[in-house]
Structures are given as C-alpha cells and as structure tokens.
C-alpha cells in the first residue's frame, strides 16, 4: 500500500484551507498514493468560539462533503485528520477524524478521546476541553484489504489506546496532529516510534506546521514509521506531501520473528 500524508499550515479561512486540501491530496495521488491522511485541524485552526460556528453534522456540512467529493473524484480513500463535529453540547463540538472510502462514503469516524489541556513553560496554554467534547470509543475500520485504527494528536501519549487498536486488528494507525513546537521537538519522534514498536504497526502521522492564529506554532515533521520503529518517510519544512510504501509481508515477518504481542501476560 502506498500511503500519503499531507502536511499543512491551516488558518482561519475554511474555504482557503479546503482549497489547499484539494490541491495537496491531488498531488499525493499524482505521486501514486492509494490512500491519503490529512492533519488535525486541516479545515480550521482558530479560536473555540469560531470553531463552534463551523462544526457540522458528518456528511451534511462543507468540510465532510468536500472530502467525500474529493474521494470520489480521485478514487482513493481519505482520512480527514481532525474536524469539528457537532455534539450533544453546542458549545463543545467533537474533534473528529473521519475515514472516507473511494466511493465517497464515510466508512469510519473517531472522536478524539484525550483532550489537550496544558500550560507549558514557553507560555503556550491550551485548554481543549473547554471547547471540545471528548469521545469515548476506539475506532478500527477495514479499508483496502487491511484494518486502520484512528487516533488524534494528544492520544499519542496514551499507549493503552494503541494497544486497544492492535487488539482489534489494526495494522496501520493514523495520528493526525497539531503538535506544539515545544513538545514536538522533544517528544514527537520518540512517541510515534514507541507506539509503532509496541504494537508492531505502521504509524502514519500527518501534521500541522508553522504559525497559526492566536500565537500557536506547530512542529511539523509529518512522518511514517514502520513496525520495527524505523522512520521510513518524513516531510520537510512547510506544506507538502509524503508518500511511503507499507509492506504488510514485512510486518508479518516482524511479528513472526519478534512475537511480543503473543507474549503478553497482563
């Protein structure tokens, strides 16, 4: 499988962000990608009060229907990394990653469980829970002959979620993100490699990069990690696309030669 990951610098303007999504997904297709994943906040990156305004019912709003139309046009599935979905609380939408199949059907959805509430030494303060409702369920969806697990950004710090996805048969896990510059430079690579090694899965991590509204800065470095923990593709600075080959025969060999998943006691 050739898996594409898109790195973006999303801003407040939904239409402008979606235009970039269309262009970058088509670029990934031109490079041979058979499935493409977008970063967290791909359609909107801004304050909570404005995020509530763009939250939508899946399959009925501008963001999700754009991905559906794009999947049909390109003929490949798309993982919409993280978008505002209306919840039971109109003040706190979900942060939802959706999987749209090649026919434009929403085949799977995952609502971010772990919300990013931090107060960092560099002055970065984020209280995602103030404007976002948490999800409660893991998500594994069949696609292109394999099983895909979906997570979002801060979930990366909670290995029990990834073990749950592995237990449900996931062979690839997506981690769309908007990692802060401060945490990214120290933790991004090591956490992604750890989740891949622990579960012997491919990890695909499309990310936001650069400066965003309200002083947010994100780390970028979108990458793909193989089941041995090797980084097999990484994006450069700026917006762009990477495409990596996922070799499931190699994954089977890793799992056969180092069968740690079958050695679990707890």
| DSSP symbols for 56-112 | B-TTTSHHHHHHHHHHHHHTS-EEEEEEEE--SSTTS-EEEEEEE-TTS-EEEEEE-
112 counts as catalytic? yes
Residue 76: phi and psi, rounded to 5, are -130, 150
Q: Is 210 helix (H, G, I), strand (E, B) or coil?
A: strand
Residue labelled with tokens 């980084």: 231
Of 40, 56, 200, 239, the catalytic one is 40
Positive or negative torsion for Cα 21, 27, 30, 36: negative
Which CA distances in Å does 232 have to 180, 226, 247? 23, 7, 11
CA separation for the pair 178, 25 (Å, rounded)? 18
Q: Which of 78, 8, 54, 1 is nearest to 218 (CA)?
A: 8
Pairing mode of beta strands 240-245, 2-7: antiparallel
Residue 113 contacts residue 154 (beta carbons within 8 Å): no
198 counts as catalytic? no
153 counts as catalytic? yes
Positive or negative torsion for Cα 1, 253, 231, 100: positive
| DSSP symbols for 139-181 | -EEEETTEEEEE--GGGGG-HHHHHHHHHTT-SEEE--B--BH
Of 112, 128, 147, 239, the catalytic one is 112
Pairing mode of beta strands 94-100, 106-111: antiparallel
Of 29, 56, 128, 153, the catalytic one is 153
Cite the active site residues: 40, 112, 153
């Amino acid at each position: 499988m050739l898996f594409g990951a898109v790195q973006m610098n999303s801003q407040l303007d939904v239409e402008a962000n979606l235009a970039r999504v269309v262009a970058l997904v088509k670029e990934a297709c031109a490079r041979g990608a058979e499935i493409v994943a977008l970063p967290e906040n791909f359609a909107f990156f801004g304050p909570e009060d404005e995020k509530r305004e763009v939250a939508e019912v899946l399959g009925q709003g501008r963001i999700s229907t754009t991905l559906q139309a794009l999947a049909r046009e390109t003929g490949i599935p798309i993982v919409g990394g993280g978008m505002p979905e209306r919840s039971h609380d109109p003040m706190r939408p979900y942060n939802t990653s959706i999987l749209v199949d090649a026919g434009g059907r929403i085949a799977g959805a995952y609502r971010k469980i772990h919300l990013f509430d931090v107060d960092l030494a560099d002055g970065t303060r984020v209280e995602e829970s103030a404007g976002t409702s948490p999800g409660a369920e893991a998500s594994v969806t069949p696609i292109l002959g394999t099983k895909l697990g979906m997570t979002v950004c801060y979930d990366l710090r909670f290995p029990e979620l990834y073990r749950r996805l592995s237990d449900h048969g996931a062979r690839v896990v997506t981690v769309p993100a908007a990692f802060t510059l401060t945490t990214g430079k120290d933790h991004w690579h090591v956490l992604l490699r750890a989740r891949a090694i622990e579960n012997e899965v491919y990890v695909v991590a499309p990310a936001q990069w650069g400066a965003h509204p309200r002083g947010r800065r994100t780390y970028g470095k979108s990458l793909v990690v193989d089941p041995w923990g090797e980084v097999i593709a990484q994006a450069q600075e700026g917006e762009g696309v990477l495409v990596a080959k996922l070799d499931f025969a190699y994954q089977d060999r890793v799992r056969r030669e180092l069968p740690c998943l079958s050695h679990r006691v707890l």
